[in-house]
């Protein structure tokens, strides 16, 4: 049996996401100023988006990041999704299938809402995540800014470690 025999009948049903080449921008510009270019494409101002991204990347919850930025948690989840953070849909894979049925007009909204068992807010957020892709430019700005912050933290840890006596 050859490779052609094994691959016979295999079809591609979805496209793979093109990631491109990773790059890091070493500018000293703040995240908020980098995001001003994408202000019209985000649900909140660039300042609020930067505050939420930094807080969420630092380990806070979506709700706490929303509180820091002074916005509603649903708005924060939408913004973080647009900034490239993953896993913000409140739906399980089965619920996403039911949502897709509604989005493709295979069932009514009322039926989809009942079948998912979600409330209006959860349904609206899941629909937003399903119908809006992350903004690649804004996601790149966030990734670059956060990688600079991580590098600075590593530099501080290395400097501190150099001052400590050896544990030998």
pLDDT tens digits along 67-89: 999 999 999 999 999 999 999 99
Say if 17 falls within a structural domain.
Answer: no
Give the domain extent around 113: 90-135
Burial letters 103-141, b for 16+ CB under 10 A, else e: eeeebeeeebbebbebeeebbebbbbbeeeebbeebbbb
Same structural domain, 103 and 74:
no
Segment 22-57, tens digit of pLDDT: 555 455 688 889 999 998 899 999 999 999 999 999
* Distant-in-sequence, close-in-space partners of 12: CB < 8 Å, separation ≥ 6: none
Same structural domain, 84 and 126:
no
Query: Worst-scoring range by mean pLDDT, 54-58, 94-98, 136-140, 155-159?
Result: 155-159
Same structural domain, 72 and 50:
yes
Same structural domain, 98 and 80:
no
Same structural domain, 43 and 84:
yes
Say if 112 falls within a structural domain.
Answer: yes
- With 0.75 as the threshold, say if the pTM is over it: no
């Amino acid at each position: 049996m050859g490779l052609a025999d094994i691959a016979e009948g295999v079809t591609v049903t979805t496209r793979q996401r093109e990631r491109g080449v990773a790059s890091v921008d070493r500018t000293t510009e703040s995240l908020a100023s980098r995001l001003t270019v994408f202000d019209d494409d985000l649900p909140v101002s660039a300042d609020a988006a930067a505050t939420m991204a930094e807080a969420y990347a630092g380990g806070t919850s979506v709700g706490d990041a929303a509180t820091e930025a002074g916005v509603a948690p649903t708005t924060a989840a939408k913004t973080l999704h647009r900034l490239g953070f993953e896993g913000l849909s409140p739906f399980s894979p089965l619920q996403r299938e039911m949502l897709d049925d509604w989005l493709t007009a295979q069932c009514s909204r009322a039926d989809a809402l009942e079948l998912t068992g979600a409330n209006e807010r959860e349904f609206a957020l899941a629909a937003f995540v399903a119908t809006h892709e992350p903004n690649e430019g804004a996601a790149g700005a966030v990734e670059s800014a956060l990688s600079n912050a991580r590098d600075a933290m590593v530099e501080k840890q290395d400097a501190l470690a150099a001052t400590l006596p050896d544990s030998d």
